[in-house]
Structure 1
Amino acid sequence: MPTALPEAQAAPNRQRQAEAARPILQALARVMVTDRRAVTLASARGEILLANLSSQRLGIDRESLLQHLDWQALCNTARRSGSAAARWQRETHSFEGEVVHVPLGSAEGFLLRLAESDQESTWLRNRARAATLMRVAHDLRTPIQSLLASAEALTRRDGPGLTEETAHRMRRAAGLALDQVSNVLSVIRGEQSLRGGQPDEDFRLADEVTALVALVEPIAAARATEVVLTLETPPDLTLHGPLRFVRALCQNLIDNSVNHGGGRVELRLTAKPLSAALPLSDGAAELWRVQMELSDEGGGLPAEHRARLAEVLARPGDAEGRDITGSDQRPSAGLSVLAHALRQLGGEMTVADRGADCQALPAQSEERVIGTVFTATFTLPRAPALPQPAAEPQGGGALPLAARQILLVEDSPSSRDWITHMLRHAGAEVTSVGSGPEALALLARVEYATRIELVLTDVTLPRMTGIELAERLSRGDPAASLVWRGPVVGLTAHADDRIRAACLRAGMVTVLEKPIQAEDLASGLNAVLSGSAPAPRAAAAGQGGDSPIDAEVSQSLISQIGVEKARDFMLRALREARQVQTELLRDGIGPDTGRRLHAATGACGLTGLRAIERVLRLTEAEVAVTNPCLEPLCDQLDDALSRTEQAIGELGA
């Protein structure tokens, strides 16, 4: 029969894969059994392949692996860069470790190795913190130089007056520099928490590189250096990956050439899709190959500098860029940051001399050298597409937000994606960002400022609250040459009188409360855009009964996107709540705890996870008191998470 052939062919293939992997597994098993550290080999889905005695004593199994670690994200990072830092919490002890990618022939595995003792964990944690501070301190240099160069140019008295266009560029560069400082500080907060590192995120490649070039323009002008950017990539190409390392790589390349590259620096950015998806990863993420080619006129790279660069890029290094093979030589901070960023992106770099024809010269060429060509390449997946909205709402009629241009500012990834879907389902064209500074940077650009009609922002945001964002938008921002004027609508899971009053004083037209139904959100924003702001709506009361999921919300989700995608949105919100609970138990109450709880509360409310939402609201209130008692609430949250996860699995059954 025709259907029997693929299976008949697949069986020998699986057998060959197993035979190829067996010697590697046997070698790993021999090493692991003598290791006093907890060592576990697992698949990307969390299935345990090998585990030594120490790992078994810690209770590391598939369930705990997926519950205590963001295992899929760690595997993606390890697959890309070779390894990823990880932290395992058991009762009152926290173990530092790493996840290492292990190729197994045509298959793959991921090795979780934990520190042997608390002392070793503390040493690793302190070393990682020092490495982070070294990297971000170096990253702060360029924005601070940009601010100083902008201030000098704007206040210079002995030269000709600045044109309006030049002054605009300087103000924009200063605004970008301040945003970059905020970005770096947020990385410090993220990577110094026990949660461990910043998550991968969606970003527009062309926008990021354009902003970094604009950031260094004042520095280049002070050195009489021309910077030319050529983009050979779709302007709306959105990738998913470690944005902080893309920024670090690009910033160090440009900054170095501006400082030492002569009178003209050329940066060519190209991106091309690859046919193959990530190996053995779930789904079929479209991969894009990114290339940054930077050429200068600095007379060529001295031989000793080129050798040093080649060495630090080729040799294995720890988080600080320090050679772990025994060499006493320590590279400069700039080289360390560059090499670390490239390793985390899984990329590579070539360095060549630039000839008089502006092309890279072949090795051992006798032609005159006028500069250097740096070429960095890396591969990242395209950001996943959201579910497509229906052509028309149920029941027919015009879409309430048809062709309306809305900017959404929401820090919770699951809430951001779901609200985006709701707005697109109502006909709107949505641009979404995760913070206030990102929104300001976007609206400072003419192409967005002339198109965006309304800003919908969460009230509780990192780095800059929604209230602060509304104030900046309502009064304008001369430092960033902000030209956007339009209505701002707040969105919050806690819209009490005090918060509403603060939002209205800041310039918001109205405040909507989470959870909110798609129809209420669309009609409320339509009223604002029509010039008649709606009265604030109270959150819809969930249906009674014992079910941990709101039946009305779940049915609305299923009718719009189907059972499987509805489950996916709900599980993303559930994982966000579980992560917040883990952080609270592990780290205690910190300066960001309230915001993280608020984001999880909103995400669970939007997707109908009412049992979890109820406990999160109680936890938020308890965290705000002087001597909070969190144990009973954490027990309640455990129960709500368990019952809700089971109910999600039974949806549509």
Structure 2
Amino acid sequence: MFERCDLFDRCPRPVLALFLGLFIWGLGALADLLIFHRGVISVPPAFHEVWLHLVTILAVGGFALFFHYRFRKSSDEGLACDLILNSINEAVSLIDPQTFKIIEANRLFLQEVGLEREEVLGQTCYRLTHHRESPCQPPDCPCPVFYTLETGEPAIFEHVHRGPQGEKRYVEVSSIPIKSPSGQIRHIVHIARDLTHRRLAEEEIRRLLEKIQRIMDSVPEGVLLLDEGLLVEVVNPLGKEYLDLLADFDSQGRLRRLAGRPVVELLKGEIQELEIKEPSPRTFTVATRPLQAGGQQKGWVVVVREVTLERQLRDRALAQEKLAAVGQLAAGIAHDFNNLLTSIISFAELLKLDPGIPPETQKRLDLIISQGQRAADLTRQILDYSRRSVLKMAPLELSAFLKDLALFLKRTIPENIELRLEIPPGRYTVAADASKLQQALINLALNARDAMPKGGVITLALSRLKVSPKELTPCEDMAPGEWISISVSDTGEGIPPEILPHIFEPFFTTKERGRGTGLGLAQVEGIIRQHRGCLTVETASGQGTTMTIFLKAIKEIALETKAGGGLVPGRGQEILLVEDEESVLEALKASLEALGYQVTVARDGLEALKIYSKRANEIALVLTDMVMPRMNGLELLENLRRLDPQVRIVLLSGYPLGEDHHFLEGLKKVAWLQKPARIEELSQTIARVLSS
């Protein structure tokens, strides 16, 4: 391979030096096969690479030592030199330090550049490996040969070489100086170790890690990796946010608690729920899985998921189910209960009309009527909560409404409580059922009164709120536009946090037995929801409570004035009374006759239809119950209107009308009353329909 090796002084044992490199390389390769590849010793990949690199340098050192000896030209020695170079499993070339030209190269180097030996010798290393016309220069391409020439020391750099077709090859380049006895660098051994597969694998791993990181960053859960000592090794951004909110660490940085719960309790593998109250109530679930490696546990994966909204939706669904159940119950008992009350109240009122009743008995009758009305109000409260009561909507100017309400409240609250009104100038008009809204505000005011047994201040305040699209609003689903708020504030002790979530539940009360039904706030919420408004609560310990009602404002329109109250007697007109409940039938018949009407009775819709078809000219008005066997009130109404479009009808219902009241409101000469109807209200309604 070499015609003459005159690099170094003559050595008496050149063959021994020649085989020294082969022995070192073979020994290293054998150790690599037996120890590392067969798993006798488990070492990191980086250590394995250092080992191979060390073996390569020692083998090349043996090769360099060979050149230290001067020997005669012989075919055996040339063959030995070929054997040394080609047995090294790296691309090796010998470079002239003056010209950077290659003066010798092994088989792997020739394969790397894709040329024959005769084409390689005499060409510069930078042209063959970098496809450039000048030596590599830092910082873009630091050259190990330059470094070795400047320092006299071996150098190792990573380079990007170009293959025969210009393809990239990642290599680790080593340059080893071969010096004369005087220390002059005569040649440089250039070793290129191909790292392309490793680099591509590393690049693939890097891309995979980036993909995993993107997934980790985008998942809607907090993910963290704990080692066996409960130190956080990996955490995604959401997990970091949750740790800042929930976690407690010890002085060594070990995770000890999440939301006050010991972490060791949460690592049992079951999905567990965590709750926090500050800075705002939030709910989380925690799921954990152990990490196994080699049959041993190496840590845990912890997934933290916020379920606050889900729990709110679940609670809302449960509340709706409860609301539907209570509504069904209320609707079911309302008819029968109101029928009973109709009989009780009607007969009591009829007795009061008798001038011969003694004053003491009059007082007792008043008590019967008032207690009957309380029972009727309780039924209405249940219907209000279940949002099944019927509203009589009309424009309502709230400033005058609140002033009138304040006069009433001053008579019901004790003297040690001051009542204040805060009404800015202007008119505040909403569409509302005045009696229902008044009931809601009275309930709130009485709750405020009860919260201040030692006295204080109740404030009724009006204000305006303009809601813009996408703006944060006090309540969900507030449509853009102008809203009006009515707030009722007190200076009591506030509502305890543990009670606050339950205040709108039906029959929930903190008052003593007999002092409250637990329906007050439930009724308020139901009324406001029926008005398509919303209700908010602000409370703090020792700072009182503010309940705020939000209603949509409407444009100012002229309001109708109602005629004065009182009994309106009849003038002998005949009324067809239709009622299937015997006691209610007798009570209503007696009331109508006391008002001066003639009464014909029918006990269901079919009987009433037969009577009216024969005596339509004599019957001035039909007063009918809504719920009856065979033919109900609405079916009777439709049949009577087909028979006589001018028929006048008043419907009585102990059952909530639901959507039917919209249909009835659009009909002329038709009215309806909710049972139990007072005799005064009954007389006014009949008179109004007769005069229509």
Q: Which has the larger radius of gyration?
A: 2
Same fold (TM over 0.5): no
TM-score by length of 1: 0.28
Taking structure 2 as the reference length, the TM-score comes to: 0.27
Instruction: Name the structure with the higher helix share.
Output: 1
Give the structure with the larger strand fraction: 2
